[in-house]
Amino acid sequence: MTDRNTDAGSSLAALNQWVLEVARLTRPENIHWCDGSDSENDALIQKMLADGTLIKLNEETHPGSYLHRSHPDDVARVEHLTFVCTTERDDAGPNNHWMAPDLAHQQMDSLFDGCMEGRTMYVVPYCMGPIDSPLSRCGVEITDSPYVVANMRIMTRMGAAALARIEREGTFVKGLHSTGDLNPDRRFIMHFPEELSIQSFGSGYGGNALLGKKCHALRIASHQARNEGWLAEHMLILGIENPQGETHYIAAAFPSACGKTNLAMLIPPQSYVEKGWKVWTVGDDICWMRPGPDGRLWAINPEAGFFGVAPGTSDKSNPNALASIQRNTIFTNVAVTEDNQPWWEGLDKRVPKTDWKGNAFDASKGPAAHPNSRFTVSAKQCPSYSPHAEDAQGVPISAIVFGGRRASLVPLVFEARDWTHGVLVGAAMGSETTAAATGAVGVMRRDPMAMKPFCGYNFADYFGHWLSMENAGSKMPKVFHVNWFRKGDDGSFLWPGFGDNIRVLEWMIKRVKDEVGAETTPIGHLPKAGDLNLDGVQLSAEADTKLFGYEREGWAHEFASIAEYLQEYGPRMPKALLEECANTQARMAG
């Protein structure tokens, strides 16, 4: 067992002390401080190939790429086992499972006791965001999983540079993780926002084990953001460059597996490409926004990689994502073809040899790839990766977009009247559940700002924080809502989606620049006929009505449900948001 030499007066002394305390509790055979080097990564990969943690894929078609198969009971986030541990229960809010910090620490200490015996304990310093950005924040994850280390190297700025920043700043988020025995009955993910710490036991799945991701970048960071006056959001960031060379940046929130990655890497239709339109990818999942000196919100992607959903990713749905993962990629729970290539439903017409569990593929026994199978890859491998993604000051946000899966009622796009109404639009978001979390699929649930599983404190206070971002001198982004998933009476999608979504984004930019008007309705502003470019898109009369119409009776029922939902948060719910909801209902009745 080794420890790191640090001066008693150094700001690393606290880190070293914590590492030693964890080692005394978990009793690892070795301690390894990760430096993020190529040689270190190569050694880890060889170790995992030797013990079967990783399987090498076809080197000719997917050089430097590997398959990991997780335990069949460990394939998604476990929201029901995820806790926010604040001193006061109300600070966690009804949107989180709560446990008293003392009780949570006692429970986790008993699980971690001796759990790393015979294993190596890895100390992983990392930075969320560009290493030199004032918007970035650092953390250290202690883990006994080399798979986690390899993924954290891709997903964060991990290693020596992050450790140097921690030494300069003297502060970091503490994350402790062990795969334990992978027993679902001994699996917990605990967050201690007041301590800036995370403890995760019993899972190797990304969202539960890569503590820089949802745990730090959203649950803990949202708490930090509230205290420090910024926003940590479950949003993609993309840049849209028009033929005049202007680039507008959009942040968009969608629940998991609802097309965030597809939108972030959108390729415009040929007619748009020929005119000079370009789409730049800054991030596909998480966005940190801070008010700049000019009053605008400036954003960074705190992640350095993509942890994307594989099923449905294809040359048709997302060519840029597919191009990104042809090399140096870790695939998790996908199927494998006869010639050892990764495969999943929606990729192509080939029939895989083995399924995600490693068994001979049998179509009667379910899908070949797990519905929540993943790829981990550096964002820099994306063909549309933005040259400004590493800018220390971030990129300025022109518009914020909310959306979800709604088969009925919700039109293709509408714009909020103002910032307060926009916060209501985000707070009222509803979507049909997907396979990214355990539980039933296809059930409609409220998912405010796509943050329901990720907000580290009381949603009522969170809405209040959003409202507080607008003040004298601020230039808030316009807020929009989209629904790519509206269906017709026959159950088919009414909007073509994918690359054609740029038509909706173009209308948003025109609204930002005040170049087009809009139809005013009680729910917000809808596109006027002819203002949204539909050249080359064939829409039925039903599609035209449902995608661009306002259904008063259906929305009256929707807002009755929204009003009831907001009341669930009790006296902490901001009065301004309740009034905005009541005003919208009055507009419908008027």
Around 83, how many Cα atoms within 13 Å sit in the side-chain half-sphere? 22
CATH classification at residue 205: 3.40.449.10
Residue numbers of the domain that contains 36: 13-53+78-228
Which amino acid, 354? T
Decide if 6 is inside a domain: no
Among candidate residues 183, 198, 228, the one where a domain is terminated: 228
Is 261 labeled as ligand-binding? yes
Look at residue 6 in the predicted model and tell me its pLDDT.
Answer: 45
Around 95, how many Cα atoms within 13 Å sit in the side-chain half-sphere? 29
Q: Does 316 share its domain with 400? A: no
Terminal-residue alpha carbon distance, the chain: 73
Look at residue 304 in the predicted model and tell me its pLDDT.
Answer: 98
**CA 266 to CA 210: how far, in whole Å?**
26
Q: Does 466 share its domain with 582? A: yes
4 pLDDT above the threshold of 70: no
Q: Does 333 share its domain with 365? A: yes
Which residues sit opposite 414 in a β-bridge?
481
Q: Does 85 share its domain with 195? A: yes
Decide if 532 is inside a domain: yes
Tokens of 334: 């996908």
Q: pLDDT tens across 515-557, in order?
A: 999 999 999 999 999 999 999 999 999 999 999 999 999 999 9
Q: Does 208 share its domain with 170? A: yes
Whether 395 contacts 387, CB under 8 Å: no
Is 533 labeled as ligand-binding? no
Look at residue 583 in the predicted model and tell me its pLDDT.
Answer: 97
In terms of Cβ atoms closer than 10 Å to its own Cβ (0-12, 13-18, 19+), residue 444 is: middle
Decide if 60 is inside a domain: no
Look at residue 426 in the predicted model and tell me its pLDDT.
Answer: 98
Q: Give me the catalytic one of 127, 138, 258, 287.
A: 258
Decide if 1 is inside a domain: no
Q: Does 300 share its domain with 323? A: no
Q: Does 445 share its domain with 535? A: yes
Is 428 labeled as ligand-binding? no
Give the three-state DSSP class for 289: strand
> Closest by alpha carbon to 330, among 555, 108, 154?
154
The label of the residue with tokens 């820099």 reads 380
Buried b (16+ CB within 10 A) or exposed e, 124-136: bbbbbbbeebebb
Is 403 labeled as ligand-binding? no
Look at residue 435 in the predicted model and tell me its pLDDT.
Answer: 54
Is 206 labeled as ligand-binding? yes
- Mean pLDDT estimate for the chain: 95
Is 485 labeled as ligand-binding? no
432 pLDDT above the threshold of 80: no
Cα dihedral 43, 44, 46, 48, rounded to 10, equals 160
Q: pLDDT tens across 39-54, in order?
A: 999 999 999 999 999 9
Residues in the chain: 590
Decide if 448 is inside a domain: yes
Q: Over range 486-490, report the average pLDDT.
A: 96
Look at residue 437 in the predicted model and tell me its pLDDT.
Answer: 57
Is 214 labeled as ligand-binding? yes
- If one counts the domains in the chain, the total is 3
9 pLDDT above the threshold of 60: no
200 pLDDT above the threshold of 70: yes
Look at residue 1 in the predicted model and tell me its pLDDT.
Answer: 39
Q: Does 223 share its domain with 242? A: no
Is 405 labeled as ligand-binding? yes
Per-residue confidence at 590, pLDDT binned at 50, 70, 90? confident
55-69, 250-264, 511-525: least confident range: 250-264
Look at residue 445 in the predicted model and tell me its pLDDT.
Answer: 87
Decide if 569 is inside a domain: yes
Look at residue 439 in the predicted model and tell me its pLDDT.
Answer: 61
> Closest by alpha carbon to 21, among 268, 197, 284, 278?
197
Q: Does 201 share its domain with 240? A: no
Decide if 102 is inside a domain: yes
Is 207 labeled as ligand-binding? yes
Tokens of 421: 């109404």
> Closest by alpha carbon to 216, among 458, 471, 456, 2?
456
Decide if 214 is inside a domain: yes
Tokens of 5: 């030499």
Look at residue 444 in the predicted model and tell me its pLDDT.
Answer: 78
Q: pLDDT tens across 235-257, in order?
A: 999 999 999 999 999 999 998 76
Q: How many CB atoms lie within 10 A of CB 348?
A: 10
Among candidate residues 167, 196, 228, the one where a domain is terminated: 228
Is 262 labeled as ligand-binding? yes
Look at residue 434 in the predicted model and tell me its pLDDT.
Answer: 58
CATH classification at residue 320: 2.170.8.10
Look at residue 5 in the predicted model and tell me its pLDDT.
Answer: 46
Among candidate residues 228, 254, 288, the one where a domain is terminated: 228
Q: pLDDT tens across 311-335, in order?
A: 999 998 899 999 999 999 999 999 9
Q: Over range 218-229, report the average pLDDT.
A: 98
Look at residue 87 in the predicted model and tell me its pLDDT.
Answer: 98
Q: Does 402 share its domain with 288? A: yes
Whether 503 contacts 534, CB under 8 Å: yes
Q: Does 485 share its domain with 541? A: yes
**CA 131 to CA 128: how far, in whole Å?**
8
Which amino acid, 307? F
Whether 199 contacts 212, CB under 8 Å: no
Whether 255 contacts 431, CB under 8 Å: yes
Q: pLDDT tens across 326-376, in order?
A: 999 999 999 999 999 999 999 999 999 999 999 999 999 999 999 999 999
Of 437 and 570, more confident: 570
Query: Does residue 127 have an active-site annotation?
Result: no
Whether 47 contacts 146, CB under 8 Å: yes
Q: Does 351 share its domain with 393? A: no
Give the three-state DSSP class for 387: coil
